[in-house]
A and B are shown apart, each in its own frame.
Chain A
C-alpha cells in the first residue's frame, strides 16, 4: 500500500470495495496508457490530502481484465467511485487535479 494507494486485483476487488470505511475511487489503468501515467501523481496527491476521507485504489486492466469487463470499461483511464460497495459514479478520461477534486467532492465528507 505504497503512497496510501490500494492495489486491487480480481481476488480482492469485491471484498475491498464492500468493506471500505470511506468512499473509494478506483482507477482503471494500464502500463501502456500515457494519460493513465499522467494522472498517477494527481491521484497520489489526492490520496495523501484526503486520507481518511476517501480511499484511492488502482486496478490494472491488463492483469485483471475480468473486473474491467464486469464494469464495462472500454476506455482508460476510467475512474469509478464506490460507496458502500455500490458503483456511484463513472468518469472516463484523464483530468487535472482541480477538475477531479470537483468531480469527487460530493463523496468527500466535509467534517472529518
Chain B
C-alpha cells in the first residue's frame, strides 16, 4: 500500500517538540503529516513523557499548573485546528538515502520532501532478569496510573533526579512509606525538589544503594539492595517498585542513517535543528540530553519548523 500523496513534511513523534513543529508548519500551510506513535504504558507513546506525569507546574501560561496529558491534548488540538494530519501508529522503517524521503508504517509507505524527527526519549528500566514478570504485579512504569493501587502499602522508588522525587512525592498520597533508593550520596534533583523530598515525613532516602534483586512469586514482595560503598546486601519488604533512573533516546529507527552520539542522541548543527542529512531536522529530547524540559522541547520544535520551512523554500 503506497500513499501516493507527496507530503511537504512528515513529523515523526508527537511530544511537545513534534506538536509545536506541527503547529508551526501547519500555520505555514505545509499541511504536516504527524506520525504520532501508538499507545503504550511507557513514555514512548503519543504525547510523549508528559502523558505519564501529573501536575506540570513550570510550563509558562498555566499559573495554577496543568495535568501533563491535558497539556498534550491542547498541543494536539492546536495542531489539528490548522489541519495537521495524524496517524496514530509507529514508524517502522525510514529511507532517507534519497529524496523524496520515505517513511513506512508497517507496509504503508509515505513520502515527503522533508522530515522532522521528534521521537523523544523513554525511561530506562533497571535491566534485572525478572523485571518483565513483575510488570503489572508490583512493578510500574507509571506512578500516576498505578499509585492508587498501593494505598496503605510500602513502596520503593529508584532514582535521584527530579522525576524520581516527583514520583515519590506523588506516591506518598497513597503509600504509608516511600523509600527513595539513590545510587550516590547526593541527589541529582533540583533544589526545590530535594527540599520537597527531605521535608516529606513519608519519604525515607536510602543513600548509596542499588536495587539488584526482585522477590515474590506472583506479586512483588520485596527488593534486594546492595550498598554501593560497602557491598553489603539488604532486603526491603515492599509491594511496589517504581523506577525513574533516566532516559534513553528513541533513535533505534535512525541507526546508521542519522549521525548520533555514542549515547544515541541525534547530533544537530549547534544553534539549529539541522541533522547530517539536508531536509531532515531533529528537535526535542531526541537531540537534547541537557535540558529535557517541555518548554525547551517546544522551543526546539519551533526551530525545526522554521528551519524546515526555509529549507523547503530554498529548494524552489
Interface residues of A (CB under 8 A from B): 30, 32-39, 41-42, 61-62, 68, 72-78, 92-99
**Across the interface, do B51 and A74 meet the contact criterion of CB distance under 8 Å?**
no
Q: How far is the CA of A33 from the CA of B40 in the complex (A)?
A: 12
For residue A36, give the distance in angstroms from its CB to the closest CB of chain B.
7
Residue of A nearest to B52 (CB): A34
Closest 8 CB pairs of A and B: A96-B38, A92-B136, A93-B41, A34-B69, A94-B39, A34-B51, A75-B136, A38-B39
Interface residues of B (CB under 8 A from A): 38-41, 45-47, 51-52, 54, 68-69, 88-90, 106, 135-138, 140-142, 144-146, 148-149, 219
**Across the interface, do B106 and A98 meet the contact criterion of CB distance under 8 Å?**
yes
**Across the interface, do B38 and A74 meet the contact criterion of CB distance under 8 Å?**
no
Q: How far is the CA of A41 from the CA of B140 in the complex (A)?
A: 23
Contacts of B46 on A, CB cut-off 8 Å? 38
- A–B Cβ pairs within 8 angstroms, 29 of them: A30-B145, A30-B148, A32-B145, A33-B142, A33-B145, A34-B47, A34-B52, A34-B68, A34-B142, A34-B144, A35-B39, A35-B142, A36-B145, A37-B69, A42-B39, A61-B148, A75-B136, A75-B137, A75-B140, A75-B142, A75-B149, A76-B146, A92-B136, A93-B136, A94-B40, A95-B38, A95-B39, A96-B39, A97-B38
Q: How far is the CA of A97 from the CA of B45 in the complex (A)?
A: 13
**Across the interface, do A75 and B41 meet the contact criterion of CB distance under 8 Å?**
yes
For residue B166, give the distance in angstroms from its CB to the closest CB of chain A.
14
Q: How far is the CA of A19 from the CA of B38 in the complex (A)?
A: 33
For residue B291, give the distance in angstroms from its CB to the closest CB of chain A.
22
**Across the interface, do A34 and B145 meet the contact criterion of CB distance under 8 Å?**
yes
Partner of A94, one of B45, B135, B148: B45
Report which residue of A35, A38, A76, A98 has the largest number of chain B beta carbons within 10 angstroms of its beta carbon.
Answer: A35
A-B contact count (CB 8 A): 89
Residue of B nearest to A42 (CB): B39
**Across the interface, do B148 and A39 meet the contact criterion of CB distance under 8 Å?**
no
Q: How far is the CA of A107 from the CA of B10 in the complex (A)?
A: 36
For residue B117, give the distance in angstroms from its CB to the closest CB of chain A.
20
Q: How far is the CA of A30 from the CA of B54 in the complex (A)?
A: 13
Q: How far is the CA of A68 from the CA of B136 in the complex (A)?
A: 13
Q: How far is the CA of A93 from the CA of B145 in the complex (A)?
A: 10
**Across the interface, do B219 and A94 meet the contact criterion of CB distance under 8 Å?**
no
Q: How far is the CA of A62 from the CA of B145 in the complex (A)?
A: 11
For residue B37, give the distance in angstroms from its CB to the closest CB of chain A.
8
Q: How far is the CA of A32 from the CA of B148 in the complex (A)?
A: 10
**Across the interface, do B38 and A75 meet the contact criterion of CB distance under 8 Å?**
no
Q: How far is the CA of A92 from the CA of B133 in the complex (A)?
A: 11
Q: How far is the CA of A35 from the CA of B44 in the complex (A)?
A: 11
Report which residue of B140, B142, B145 has the largest number of chain A beta carbons within 10 angstroms of its beta carbon.
Answer: B145
**Across the interface, do B68 and A93 meet the contact criterion of CB distance under 8 Å?**
no
For residue B23, give the distance in angstroms from its CB to the closest CB of chain A.
20
Q: A74-B137, A75-B41, A78-B136 are in contact. Are A33 and B149 (CB under 8 A)?
A: no
**Across the interface, do A38 and B144 meet the contact criterion of CB distance under 8 Å?**
no
Q: A74-B219, A96-B88 are in contact. Are A38 and B145 (CB under 8 A)?
A: no
